[in-house]
Each structure stands twice: as C-alpha cells, then as structure tokens.
C-alpha cells in the first residue's frame, strides 16, 4: 500500500492499494483507495478497476509530475477518478484536487512526494502481479 500525505496537514492521507486479480499481463488491475482527514480515525473507501494501459498512464503522470502532457488534469473514462492540479504561488508545492466517486479532496504536495508515490505504487503493483501469477512447477529430472 502506498500513501500520499498532505504536505501541510499530516493527518490527511490518501492510501492506494493495488490488486491485480488477473493472470494476464494486459488485463485489469483493481485499486483500493482510502481517504482520511483525521490521521486514520475514520476512512472513506472505494475501489476502481482500470486496464493496465490506464494504470501505467497514471503511474507515468505521477513519475513525471507535473507532466506537461496532461496540462494540469488527469482523468480516464473507465472510472470516475480525476486529478486536477495548480502550482501554488511562490512555492514548489501544488494544490491537487482529487475527485473520486464522492471522495472529493484537496492535497498539498511537492512533485517529489508524487514521484515517491509512483515508486511505491510500482512496487505494490509488481508484488500484486507476482502474487496473482501461478507458481512455477518444479522441473522433473
């Protein structure tokens, strides 16, 4: 599980857990998203299902944030999950507006935080895909 923590309010968190229930590398992956504004005392949670193409586009946006290709906006038609961002004046931080199935929130984050989120999500996805793959059968001698 990877976590984005608000740069100005450490009790505000977005947790993203990646599950890959399909065995084909080109099939879908599930994301479980949880949002808390009170250091985990209460959570709002939902799940979304994306194709691997959308997932890798999201990772690319995070890795290269602020990626000019998206011009301050990332969304996809597969699920209601939108990110809109604007740079704060005289700061390296961005205000990131996240819209997800009724979970609407704003996070303050520096690009490095999003790059780290991307690295964590890539690790999580690799582990989830590995767990979904059948174990190799031992070779007979």
Do the domain assignments include residue 69?
yes
CATH no. for residue 106?
2.30.31
pLDDT per residue as tens, the chain (141 positions)? 889 999 999 888 888 888 766 555 556 677 888 878 766 666 677 777 777 788 888 889 999 998 888 888 888 765 677 889 999 988 999 999 988 776 788 899 999 999 999 999 988 888 877 776 655 555 665
Contact 62, 114 (CB under 8 A): yes
pTM: 0.82
Do the domain assignments include residue 54?
yes
Number of domains the chain is built from:
1
Domain that holds residue 6: 2-132
Do the domain assignments include residue 17?
yes
Q: Residue 34 in 3-state DSSP?
A: strand
Rounded to an integer, what distance in angstroms lies between the CA atom of residue 96 and that of residue 105? 8
Do the domain assignments include residue 138?
no
Do the domain assignments include residue 117?
yes
Rounded to an integer, what distance in angstroms lies between the CA atom of residue 10 and that of residue 139? 51
Strands 29-36 and 44-50: antiparallel
Do the domain assignments include residue 49?
yes
């Amino acid at each position: 599980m990877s976590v984005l923590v608000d740069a100005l309010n450490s009790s505000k968190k977005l947790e993203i857990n990646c599950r890959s229930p399909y065995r084909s590398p080109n099939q879908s992956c599930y994301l479980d998203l949880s949002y808390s504004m009170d250091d985990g005392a209460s959570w709002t949670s939902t799940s979304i299902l994306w194709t691997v193409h959308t997932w890798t586009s999201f990772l690319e946006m995070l890795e290269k944030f602020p990626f000019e290709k998206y011009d301050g906006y990332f969304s996809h038609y597969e699920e209601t999950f939108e990110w809109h961002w604007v740079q704060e004046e005289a700061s390296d931080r961005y205000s990131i507006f996240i819209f997800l199935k009724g979970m609407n929130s704003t996070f303050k984050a520096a690009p490095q935080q999003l790059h780290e989120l991307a690295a964590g999500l890539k690790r999580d996805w690799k582990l989830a895909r590995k767990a979904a793959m059948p174990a190799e059968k031992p070779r007979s001698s």
